[in-house]
Amino acid sequence: MQKLASLLNIIDSISEWTGKIVSFLIPLICLEMMYEVVGRYGFGAPTIWSFELSYFLCGTAIIIGGAYALRHGAHVNVDIVYTRFSPRGKAILDVLSAVVFFAFVGTMAWLAVGFGLKSVQYLEHSDSLWAPPVYPFKMMLPIGAFLITLQGLAKFVRDLIMAVTGREVK
């Protein structure tokens, strides 16, 4: 049980660190958008790159940050029902709903790998005037799917142990 707890803590650490790393994109996005707004409305000089860059950076923060959000219980629950359960009852409900989670994440991973690899294979660029490479950002999809699957497995194992034994894995 100690080795399992250590493995689960390693997965938690990976989610924690990747979430903290991508959190630094948020101030960068804010600065980039502020630059665009001042340039566009203050000086009548919009950029050709701002929209796409904010799109890429926000997408990266969201997809990579998904595991961090799962780790901290920040995804949506029906709290009016969920909060009425004991910790063991919540774990049982989470084990049952894991089927939906893994079906969604598995589909996302399956599609994202093909999507990302095809983009890398063609060294895909945007069709815009700026025409930045998009393959690095499309590869964030399978990476994010892997990270959230990993964190989902850790949560599932913890919930299963809590549902069966009534004790938390620490």
Helix/strand/coil (H/E/C) assignment for every residue in 16-84: HHHHHHHHCHHHHHHHHHHHHHHHHHHCCCCCCCHHHHHHHHHHHHHHHHHHHHHHCCCCCCCHHHHCC
- C-alpha to C-alpha distances, 40 to 47, 87, 170, nearest whole angstrom: 7, 52, 52
The number of folded domains in the chain is 1
Q: Does residue 79 surpass a pLDDT of 90?
A: no
Is 170 a domain residue? no
Is 79 a domain residue? yes
With cut-offs at 50, 70 and 90, classify the pLDDT of residue 76.
confident
Rounded Cα–Cα distance for residues 112 and 139 (Å): 8
Domain residues for the domain of 110 are 2-165
Question: What's the whole-number mean pLDDT along residues 56-80?
Answer: 91
Beta bridge partners of 125: 133
Q: What is the pLDDT of residues 131-167, one digit of tens each?
A: 999 999 999 999 999 999 999 999 999 999 999 999 9
Q: What is the pLDDT of residues 20-32, one digit of tens each?
A: 999 999 999 999 9
Q: What is the pLDDT of residues 35-46, one digit of tens each?
A: 999 999 999 999
pLDDT of residue 110: 94
Question: What's the whole-number mean pLDDT along residues 46-72?
Answer: 96
pLDDT of residue 81: 82
Query: 62, exposed or middle or buried, with CB in 10 Å at 0-12, 13-18, 19+?
Result: middle
Q: What is the pLDDT of residues 103-135, one digit of tens each?
A: 999 999 999 999 999 999 999 999 999 999 999
Is 86 a domain residue? yes
Please say whether the dihedral angle defined by the alpha carbons of residues 92, 97, 98 and 99, taken in this order, is positive or negative: positive
Question: What's the whole-number mean pLDDT along residues 6-34?
Answer: 97
Report yes or no: 94 and 159 within 8 Å, Cβ to Cβ. Answer: yes
Is 161 a domain residue? yes
Is 121 a domain residue? yes
Task: Provide the token pair at 32.
Answer: 């980039």
Q: Does residue 60 surpass a pLDDT of 80?
A: yes
Rounded Cα–Cα distance for residues 18 and 165 (Å): 31
